[in-house]
Homo-oligomer: A and B are copies of this chain.
Amino acid sequence: MTGEAVEELGFARVDIGRGRRRGHPEAVYCEGKTVAEVVAIAESLIGSGATNVLATRANRETRDALRSAFPGTVVHERARLVVLAPVAGPGVGRVDVVCGRPEDEAVAEEAALVAEAMGSRVVRRYDAPVHDPAVLPGWLREQDAPGVFVVADGTGGALPTLVSGLTDRMVIALPTSAGGELPGRAALLSALNSCSPGVVVVNIDNGYGAGYAAHLINGGGG
């Protein structure tokens, strides 16, 4: 660990090189950090040349502070996610992010933005006909293509299992807490116990992890 890759900020050591070593954007998890701490960490990262830096779970105050501090910043209100020093790329491969209820979109969008910032081409499909399974097969076939699925669902959890049963593509189940504690756990348990192989799971509301993994599976890692 060479000195230049680590900058001491007093309250937290920023391991600047880590994202770049992996070839992925840096991410700052904002919950539990003060606005000043987030800004300082972001400055340190951007000052060292990082691009597409993600600030996740950023509350309104933090989002505003970042927008003011860094020109060109893109703020996604609903997903509570900020992209600093954004650099658009062509987008490689394909990640389909799927959900069927407006209340699941915030978490789905976090996954989409993360995969996008990492370099994947992302297709958002937030209008899955969850209440009408008869049309789901046709709806899926409308846009069939190789790639990875992220399926966000906070209800009883049938959607990830269904999508997996209707396709050969990898499915990352992303349970959401939209609907309360019990539904969130139902969605998590349902995905873990899915009768369809090819389903893997991330934690409730972990859009960041889902997007990150989707990008790796999509060819960005390994």
Asked whether A127 and B13 contact (CB < 8 A) given A31-B179, A32-B101, A134-B137, the answer is: yes
Q: A209 to B222, Cβ gap below 8 A?
A: no
Q: Is the interface of A mostly helix, strand, loop or mixed?
A: mixed
Q: Is there contact, CB below 8 Å, between A169 and B131?
A: no
> Contacting chain B: which of A45-53, A61-69, A84-92, A189-197?
A189-197
Which residue of B is nearest A212, CB measured? B197
Q: Is the CB of A168 within 8 A of B221?
A: yes
Nearest residue (CB) in B for A139 is B1
> Which residue from B29, B127, B134, B200 sits with its C-beta under 8 Å from A201?
B200
A interface residues (Cβ-Cβ under 8 A, vs B): 1, 8, 11-13, 15, 18, 22-23, 27, 29, 31-33, 37, 101-103, 105, 126-127, 129-139, 146-148, 155-158, 161-162, 165-166, 168-170, 172, 178-179, 182-183, 185-204, 206, 208-209, 212-213, 216-217, 221-222
